[in-house]
Amino acid sequence: MSANDKIQNDLEQNINNKNDTTTLDQAFRANDNDQILNDVKNNTKLIKVLSQNLVIISVDKIRLAYTDHMSHRSVRDAWLGPAGILVSMLLTLVTASFSDAFGIAGATWKALFIFGAISAAIWTAKLAYKAATSKPVDVESFIKKITVDEPNG
């Protein structure tokens, strides 16, 4: 008996066993589910890992740990904003020819952009240093925060 004949036979049996209340679509789905289950059973290797750590934690403690974790993450990314300002100021200084506008002389505009670029460079350096020296921000550090026992009292 071929595979198609077997499927057809199974479908007919499913329909006959259900007293004609089963539609053809339902019979196909039932047969597909059985076939999928058989495929999974025959082609799957089951690996049991029974050694697990269970953490029971209050919502307050996880909220505090998460807030602390995310604040460290924001410190690590904070230098990107000032770096973008620095790049735009430097590109303006390189490409622009400053002229008189709004009653302010061109040399004054250039001086303002130079001051802005220097300020952005200092700001970027300060935040980049903070990012480089901040605590690691990864899944393991977060898990460590929530699994550390607090002293009693």
| Torsion region of 144: left, alpha or beta (phi above 0 gives left; psi -120 to 50 gives alpha) | alpha
**Please, what are the averages of pLDDT over each run of 10 residues along the chain (153 residues)?**
63 57 54 70 70 77 84 82 92 87 86 92 93 80 75 45
Q: Give residue 127's pLDDT.
A: 92
Task: Report how far residue 153's alpha carbon sits from residue 145's, in angstroms, rounded to the nearest whole number.
Answer: 19
> Residue 86, Cβ neighbours under 10 Å: how many?
21
Task: Report how far residue 42's alpha carbon sits from residue 89's, in angstroms, rounded to the nearest whole number.
Answer: 65
Q: Give residue 119's pLDDT.
A: 94
